[in-house]
Amino acid sequence: MRGKVPDHIARIKQYIPGTPEEDVPAAAGQDKPLKLASNENPLGPSPRALEAAWTALKRCHRYPDGSGRLLREALSTHWGLSMEQIVLGNGSTELVEILARTFLGKDDWAVMAQQSFIMYRIAVMAVHGHFREIPLREMRHDLVAMASACDERTALLYIANPNNPTGTYVSNTALDEYFRQVPPSVLTVLDEAYGEYLQSDDYPLGLEYLRKGRRVVVLRTFSKAYGLAGLRLGYALASAEVASAMERVRSPFNTNRVAQAAALAALGDEEHLRRSREMNRNGLAYLEEQFLQRGLRFTPSAANFILVHFDRSAQEVYQSLLELGVITRPMTPYGFPQSLRITVGGDAENARLVGALDKVRAAAGR
């Protein structure tokens, strides 16, 4: 019957975002809930971004610049690419969708890790594409298996680096080997949503592979280290040919005036970015130490969150923490039914989380 929900849409399991603060009553003795569920920046936005956002807001009766020229110019200088190689999105999530709409037909396939950002799967399913999911190996993308899973029907391959929800990353050696192996027709999406947090020598910048002429699209976002998640601004770095194809599919005013202005200012505020990184580094070190002291298992992370493993249902631990006003994210939909993903907060927030975990574990006797 025409007009009924198509089967391939009916099969999609709806994305469940982190519980919003607005939905959680403050716990006794706390003035507000603590959200550590969506990998947001505890430092907040750059004051320069806020000021630019306010100025732009006063012009909100006008459509935004549909091409986002000023921001794309700044990004092109930042990355040393031409403007034609940059596509803006309403968050990088929208770019994940645009890529599927642009490159996947009904009979095409995508390859992705089994335990990775769920929007890859949803984007592929929504366009009636097919996908193969490859299990992680030692909590990392198994790039050898992923490359081997590609054949002449494979159009897209998604790699989150670092990965959500594990916080692990693949090294430049592993990625070099992957590009030697993967068929040249496959378009590799390197999602670097958390890339700003990494400064290790062996972290492979997708940009370098793009420069070498590999068939790759790099995704970045202002939602994480730049602290602008609520404004929704992500971008893709691609070859001019791939970017132009995406531009044809993108809706004309997908990124708004306020977000463009704030992102432009945030990009110029290197001090704020440095402070965000530092806060995250210290927070991660603190949490890892606290977890070690308590014998709690976790996956060492390179991002702004940490996956903690329990010996019981993560949903139960999540619920008990919620009753104490602390919002975390059970990772059952990502294939880790006994793990919580916890965003690294500021000092006081991390201490509050640890205190809440202690109470929950004491009450459960483990």
Ligand X SMILES: Cc1ncc(COP(=O)(O)O)c(C=O)c1O
Q: Shortest Cβ distance from residue 286 to ligand X (Å)?
A: 22
> 3-class secondary structure for 51-69?
HHHHHHHCCCCCCCCCCCH
Count residues near ligand X (CB under 6 A).
13
Cβ atoms 286, 316 nearer than 8 A: no
Q: Measured between alpha carbons, how far apart are the two ends of the chain, in Å?
A: 54
Select the span of 24-32, 91-99, 250-258, 325-333 touching ligand X (CB under 6 A).
91-99
Q: Shortest Cβ distance from residue 160 to ligand X (Å)?
A: 4
Cβ atoms 152, 185 nearer than 8 A: yes
Q: Which of residues 187-226 bind ligand X (CB under 6 A)?
A: 191, 193, 221, 223
Residue 160 binds to ligand X (criterion: CB under 6 A): yes
241 φ/ψ sector (left φ>0, alpha ψ -120 to 50, else beta):
alpha
Residue 92 binds to ligand X (criterion: CB under 6 A): yes
Q: Which residues contact 119 (CB under 8 A, 6 or more apart)?
A: 15, 93, 96, 97
* CB nearer to ligand X: pick between 142 and 191: 191
Q: Shortest Cβ distance from residue 317 to ligand X (Å)?
A: 21
- Report the residue from 234, 283, 330, 345 that binds ligand X according to the rule CB under 6 A: 234
Cβ atoms 308, 342 nearer than 8 A: yes
- Report the residue from 229, 296, 351, 354 that binds ligand X according to the rule CB under 6 A: 229
Q: Shortest Cβ distance from residue 89 to ligand X (Å)?
A: 7
Measured between alpha carbons, how far is 13 from 312 in angstroms, rounded to an integer?
24
Select the span of 87-95, 209-217, 261-269, 306-314 touching ligand X (CB under 6 A).
87-95
Measured between alpha carbons, how far is 335 from 308 in angstroms, rounded to an integer?
13
Q: Which of residues 33-52 bind ligand X (CB under 6 A)?
A: 39
Helix axes 92-103, 240-249, angle to 10 degrees: 100
Q: Which of residues 311-340 bind ligand X (CB under 6 A)?
A: none
* CB nearer to ligand X: pick between 41 and 239: 41
Q: Shortest Cβ distance from residue 195 to ligand X (Å)?
A: 10
If residue 316 lies in a helix (H) or strand (E), which one and from where to where?
Answer: helix 314-323
Q: Shortest Cβ distance from residue 39 to ligand X (Å)?
A: 5
Residues that bind ligand X (CB under 6 A): 39, 91-93, 117, 160, 164, 191, 193, 221, 223, 229, 234
